[in-house]
Amino acid sequence: MFLPLLIGGLANGGVYGLVALGLVWLHRSYGVMNFAQGEMALFVTFLAFFLLQLGWPMGGAIVAALAAAALLGWVVERGLLRPFAGSSPLSLVIVTMGLLMVLNGLSSGIWGTLPQRFPPAFSGPPVRLASWPVQRQDLLILGVLVLSVLVLFGFLFFTKFGLASRAAVQNPWMARLLGVSINKVYGASWALSAVLATLASILFAPKTVLTTSMMMFVIVKGFTAGVLGGFNSLPGAILGGMFLGVTENLVAFYVSTQWKDSLALGLIVLVLLVRPEGLLGRKEARRV
Amino acid sequence: MLEVRDLVVWYGPVPALHGVSLSVGEGGSVALLGANGAGKTTTLRAISGLIRPRSGAILWRGKNLVGLPPEAIARAGIGHVPEGRGLFPDLTVWENLKMGAYLRRDFSADLPWIFEIFPVLKERLRQMAHTLSGGEAQMLAIARALIGRPKLLLLDEPSLGLDPIHTARVFLALKEIKETGVSLLLAEQNAYKALEVCAYGYVLELGFVQFSGPAEELRLSEAVRRFYLGG
């Protein structure tokens, strides 16, 4: 029974990891914890669902949703966060909390609160892996995760703009002195993190039901994954997600499913108490 | 080429510059001297757009730079090596250099002479910038600014925290850079060293320009010597 638990856990963990990647990246590059991340993704996932109902093919709906997510991320930074540039980080966090409520209200208002079934990209019976059944959606999630990580890595390490983004994270003023348009970097960071969260949301939706509360727990778990990784390391975010997903599945199976969701919250407390730099993170010393 | 007129800068309720005027000509080299807190760093930061002056003008080839963001001023051809060097600590030396050339398409032609001035960097390309020694870090900061091919290079205390050997090397590099035709505006506490490189100097005190003149004159001036050059 261990292998299906492991793969299912890794797949859930992949979803948490994708959410965590966006959260950690925004936290590092923009200095804000985006509480609206999940709702932004959910809103766009509803949009994809709407397009599917109109008869769009799955691929088209997903591409349109990801484009919409990038646009939404960019618009949120431009329209909502940038006017507060220079305010305290807490003010920015409160703006994102406001956005969370507005988007959640909009989703409920437009698409209703009844649970919907989001069709999987590949339907069919579970695949057999060494005689154990494995869900197709889980394999898809793992595949998309690997692909996203490769694309993100390629962007950050092999493009000029990616290099500028990494530089801007470390010293935004210096990057500007060298000619980097910081607003472009910020806009791209928001677009990127919204796209990652939307990927997570669209991949996760077929495993559960699409409701306006779907992302609530996913975002908490994405946050946990980030904390496990130290909230400053991108590989840490992915590994934190994987660790959480697998542990959660094991706890659900061997202990009780009731503990599954509390585990994430318990882990946050535990990590912050015992190892605040996370599993992979480095200790951060701040010069004052 | 650069003309600063009556620059007034306040940090919140605290005045830092009370109407500083100075100019740097094409290919010129100007030292900005003065003690800690005299306003040297503030002047440089205002020129490159890191702080907004309360009043005054910063004319660059006839165009006022006041109000432009730092990236636009960089694009106009002004490079800035800030106080504390401003390296990206978790990027490699090579990546830091690449960032210096962010506004350029191809900078490979400039690498040979950059490495000629700063040979130590060539051996360190794959190292993270935070592993460099103070002297190496300063070389990298200057090299990174140079590779962007600025017309004017602002340097803020390049000798700060360096031992005499590295200080000498930095000033030697500055002389070589001057010969390539780049204009320099050099803020330094080490006035004698700065006046060896620069042709002209301004002495700031508490946000005012107290003296200015050709380097030779400033070095010989009794008043300057007594107050700012330490003997």
Confirm or reject contact between B128 and chain A (CB < 8 A): no
Closest CA to A24 of A196, A160, A158: A196
Burial of residue A10, with CB atoms counted within 10 A of its CB: 0-12 exposed, 13-18 middle, 19 or more buried: buried
CB atoms < 10 A from the CB of A189, how many?
A: 22
> CB–CB of A164 and B86 under 8 A?
no
**SS3 for B154-181, per residue?**
EEECCCCCCCHHHHHHHHHHHHHHHHCC
The 8 Å CB, 24+ separation contacts for A135-138 are: A135/A7, A135/A8, A135/A11, A135/A207, A137/A11, A137/A203, A137/A206, A137/A207, A138/A7, A138/A8, A138/A10, A138/A11
Please state, in angstroms and rounded to a whole number, the distance separating the CA atoms of residues A46 and A105.
13
Residue type, B42: T
CA–chain centroid gap for A280, Å, is 19
Please state, in angstroms and rounded to a whole number, the distance separating the CA atoms of residues B200 and A26.
46
Q: Quick check: is A170 in a domain?
A: yes
CB atoms < 10 A from the CB of A58, how many?
A: 15
**DSSP structure class, residue B228:** H
Residue type, B43: T
Q: Specify the pLDDT at position A276.
A: 80
Q: What does the block give as tokens for A32? A: 């804000």
Å between A176 CA and nearest CA of chain B:
5
How many domains are contained in chain A?
A: 1
Closest CA to A251 of A262, A239, A259, A241: A259
Check if the beta carbon of residue A12 is closer than 8 Å to that of residue A248: yes
Please state, in angstroms and rounded to a whole number, the distance separating the CA atoms of residues B42 and B53.
10
Question: Which residues, including other chains, have CB under 8 Å from residue A84's CB and lie 6 or more apart?
Answer: A91, A92, A95
Q: CA of B147: which chain A residue's CA is closest?
A: A178
pLDDT in tens, A114-152: 999 999 888 888 888 878 888 899 999 999 999 999 999
Number of H helices, E strands in chain B: 10, 10
Return the exposure string of B34-57: e unless at least 16 CB atoms fall within 10 Å of the residue's CB, then b.
Answer: beeebbbbbbbbbbbbbbebeebe
CA–CA–CA angle B182, A163, B145 (5° rounding): 15
The yes/no answer on whether domain B2-228 falls in CATH 3.90.1330.10 is no
Q: Quick check: is A287 in a domain?
A: no
Å between A163 CA and nearest CA of chain B:
8
Helix H or strand E segment including B202 = strand B200-205
Q: Quick check: is A262 in a domain?
A: no
Å between A232 CA and nearest CA of chain B:
13
Return the exposure string of B179-200: e unless at least 16 CB atoms fall within 10 Å of the residue's CB, then b.
Answer: eeebbbbbbbbbbebbbebbbb
Q: CA of B82: which chain A residue's CA is closest?
A: A174
Once rounded to an integer, what is the mean pLDDT over residues A70-85?
96
Please state, in angstroms and rounded to a whole number, the distance separating the CA atoms of residues A176 and B102.
10
**DSSP structure class, residue A41:** H
Check if the beta carbon of residue A222 is closer than 8 Å to that of residue A215: no
> CB–CB of B70 and A160 under 8 A?
no
pLDDT in tens, A86-115: 889 899 999 999 999 999 999 999 999 899
Check if the beta carbon of residue A44 is closer than 8 Å to that of residue A198: yes
Query: Which one of B65, B102, B126, B146 would you mutate to disrupt binding with A, by most A Cβ within 10 Å of its Cβ?
Result: B102
Domain interval for residue A121: 2-221
Burial of residue A114, with CB atoms counted within 10 A of its CB: 0-12 exposed, 13-18 middle, 19 or more buried: exposed
Q: Specify the pLDDT at position A40.
A: 97
Q: Specify the pLDDT at position B230.
A: 54
Please state, in angstroms and rounded to a whole number, the distance separating the CA atoms of residues B230 and B150.
33
pLDDT in tens, A198-233: 999 999 999 999 999 999 989 999 999 999 988 888
Pick from A42-51, B70-79, B190-199, B222-231: least confident = B222-231
Our CA dihedral for A50, A64, A184, B87, rounded to 10 degrees, sits at: 110
Band (pLDDT 50/70/90 cuts) for residue A282 is low
Beta bridge partners of A192: none
Q: Write the CA distances from B208 to A238, B9, B172, B218, integer angstroms.
A: 55, 11, 30, 17
Position A261 pLDDT exceeds 70: yes
Mean residue pLDDT across chain B: 92
Q: Specify the pLDDT at position A32.
A: 92
Position A284 pLDDT exceeds 80: no
pLDDT in tens, B27-86: 999 999 988 889 999 999 999 999 999 999 999 999 999 999 999 999 999 999 999 999
Our CA dihedral for B25, B26, B31, B32, rounded to 10 degrees, sits at: 60
Check if the beta carbon of residue B131 is closer than 8 Å to that of residue B123: no
Q: Quick check: is A19 in a domain?
A: yes
Q: Quick check: is A239 in a domain?
A: no
Band (pLDDT 50/70/90 cuts) for residue A288 is very low
Q: Specify the pLDDT at position A286.
A: 53
Please state, in angstroms and rounded to a whole number, the distance separating the CA atoms of residues B11 and A65.
46
Cβ contacts of A177 on chain B, cutoff 8 Å: 48, 50, 70-71, 74, 79-80, 82, 86
Q: CA of B101: which chain A residue's CA is closest?
A: A178
Residues in chain A, total: 288
A196 φ/ψ angles, rounded to the nearest 5 degrees: -60, -45
Q: CA of A181: which chain B residue's CA is closest?
A: B71
Once rounded to an integer, what is the mean pLDDT over residues B161-173?
89
Q: Quick check: is A271 in a domain?
A: no
Once rounded to an integer, what is the mean pLDDT over residues B119-131?
95
Å between B127 CA and nearest CA of chain A:
15
Confirm or reject contact between B45 and chain A (CB < 8 A): no
pLDDT in tens, B93-108: 999 999 999 999 889 9
Please state, in angstroms and rounded to a whole number, the distance separating the CA atoms of residues A248 and B161.
52
pLDDT in tens, B182-212: 999 999 988 888 999 999 999 999 999 988 9
Band (pLDDT 50/70/90 cuts) for residue B26 is very high
**SS3 for A102-142, per residue?**
HHHHHHHHHHCCCCECCCCCCCCCCEEECCEEECHHHHHHH
Q: Quick check: is A272 in a domain?
A: no
Residue type, B102: Y
Cβ contacts of A180 on chain B, cutoff 8 Å: 71, 99, 102
Check if the beta carbon of residue A281 is closer than 8 Å to that of residue A232: yes
Q: Specify the pLDDT at position B224.
A: 73
Residues of chain A contacting B, Cβ within 8 Å: 160, 163-164, 166-167, 170-171, 173-182
Can you give the residue ranges of every domain in chain B?
Answer: 2-228
Q: Quick check: is A17 in a domain?
A: yes
